[in-house]
Structure 1
């Protein structure tokens, strides 16, 4: 008996129910890879309940014109470094487990800003974060006492948060976070993303001003947010 070969099925041939089952097993790495396959699959992912499944996220701005993003999940964590480079942005990926360093790789993106790139990458990751983050931590170096533009683009922190905020605004629901930490001295930066956190899940908000004790941190707009009013601890 002759059996004619059949065309192998691809992800695009599956029903939405079948895709939902399969996608329930993927994490943030697979999400980012699958988004690059084709536009129909990217559209499905962006509208689906897929979850990056991170437990904690930490962002640090270093004085060496570098930004580090720490992503924690289960018994592993990933550190992504974004370093300013004469040709653009040098990115280094380090993945760790309890046994130590697992992966270490790097790449150079030409003609891009390191802070904007960091914010865009983090935004794509958090755009697909459905489960509640235990903590979200931002630490930025102090900004000189001067009036910022609305965009805050003259400083790396402003460029990062502007890019990140664009992705948070595009989420169907607010980002669920339990504990939020912010180390910085400008309310304009806080307003870039704090309004997009889910008020009902926020248990604590911690804001630290890196300037001397007598420096004044204006928080008039922050105090009017539901996120601030509904937090249980400050």
Structure 2
């Protein structure tokens, strides 16, 4: 009778094609020969569709979905333990634990993650990474300080995993809850720039914290992305570095009237631009804005039976008789650039322009 380790390559590959990620990992641990075969066999695609990573001081939570599993999601936790690392597998039939003695939990996670992703070819719909910092009254507390060495070790190993792949990791959306640019630079440069569409960074600490982007904006991944979102960060960024995107959400440390004018010109020239959200911490006075954009249209908007004052500018889009650009000074605290249908512009508004001066 032929044993599992003596099955010829072709039928063994057929078996592997039917296995989900979890089953393949179990099979790897049967013996060294099987592990080496699976690790070397480039056609073993785990078919992972989504990845969620939560990193705490003492736990790394890995949740993923693959196209072959009958489980909605696979959840594995890597827990710091006095005697090493406790690996906990959760499923619909219960939980299974395994203690790996004298091993650091970050190292064990990275070893598993590397073996899972080694031959990933299927496009991952999204990769979500959240580093759970503890915030109290806007200040770092003890738990947050303890997370720093964990995050540092994690990103060092994670970068090595991505670098070791023969091809960039195919990801459509990257969503990171982080603090520093160096954390992004451990991941973003190693994603496939031809497939990456959405880049989303959220501040894991205090709202309005300054975030460096001087390295990120020169990456091909950034230059080719359709959507660029930086939430709760304040940035100093050359605005031309976002002009290529269809949707943008950023908050600038300082916004000038000249910035708004350049954004308007870029939006009108772009066939791709759909929506820009531009927040700011400091802004030039309104007189300079009016000088470059023209006199705004002020009225009131009825929201839940309450009237809210709004300020808007409308501009014709060259060679486009169906759409217009609306710049909305929302809540008098942020500017929203949106494509709207010409039919949505009230017939009482005749201040659509093409150069910043009223027609």
The alpha-carbon deviation at position 177 of structure 1 amounts to 0.9
The structure richer in strand per residue is: 2
8 Å CA contact 2:77, 2:87 repeated in 1 = yes
Which of 158, 167, 181 is 1:187 aligned to?
181
Aligned-partner SS, 1:205 = strand
Which of 12, 21, 27 is 2:20 aligned to?
27
Counterpart for residue 90 of structure 1: 86
Kindly tell me: are residues 110 and 42 of structure 1, through their superposed partners in 2, closer, same or farther at Cα, counting changes over 3 Å?
closer
- Structure 1: unaligned runs, 5 residues or longer: 1-6, 96-100, 146-152
Kindly tell me: are residues 41 and 85 of structure 1, through their superposed partners in 2, closer, same or farther at Cα, counting changes over 3 Å?
closer
Is 2:160 aligned against 1:166?
Answer: yes
Kindly tell me: are residues 166 and 232 of structure 1, through their superposed partners in 2, closer, same or farther at Cα, counting changes over 3 Å?
same
TM-score (norm 1): 0.80
8 Å CA contact 1:199, 1:230 repeated in 2 = yes
Counterpart for residue 46 of structure 1: 39
Give the Cα separation in 2 of the matches to 1:203 and 1:194: 12
TM-score (norm 2): 0.54
Counterpart for residue 66 of structure 2: 73
8 Å CA contact 1:115, 1:160 repeated in 2 = yes
Greater C-alpha radius of gyration: 2
Which of 113, 117, 126 is 2:108 aligned to?
117
Is 2:84 aligned against 1:102?
Answer: no
Q: Which sits farther off after the overlay, 17-26 or 119-128?
A: 17-26
Is 2:204 aligned against 1:213?
Answer: no
8 Å CA contact 1:117, 1:160 repeated in 2 = no
The CA deviation string for residues 142-183 of structure 1, in whole angstroms up to 9 with x for no partner, is 4999xxxxxxx9621222232233222222211111111000
Give aligned pairs, total: 214
Which of 222, 225, 234 is 1:231 aligned to?
225
Q: Which has the higher contact order (CA 8 A, sep 6+)?
A: 1
The alpha-carbon deviation at position 131 of structure 1 amounts to 0.8
The CA deviation string for residues 47-91 of structure 1, in whole angstroms up to 9 with x for no partner, is 42211122211011235x222111123552121112222222222
Counterpart for residue 222 of structure 1: 216
8 Å CA contact 2:196, 2:225 repeated in 1 = yes
The alpha-carbon deviation at position 106 of structure 1 amounts to 1.0
8 Å CA contact 1:142, 1:184 repeated in 2 = no
Aligned-partner SS, 1:176 = coil
Aligned-partner SS, 2:26 = helix
The alpha-carbon deviation at position 39 of structure 1 amounts to 4.8
8 Å CA contact 1:127, 1:171 repeated in 2 = yes
Aligned-partner SS, 2:194 = helix
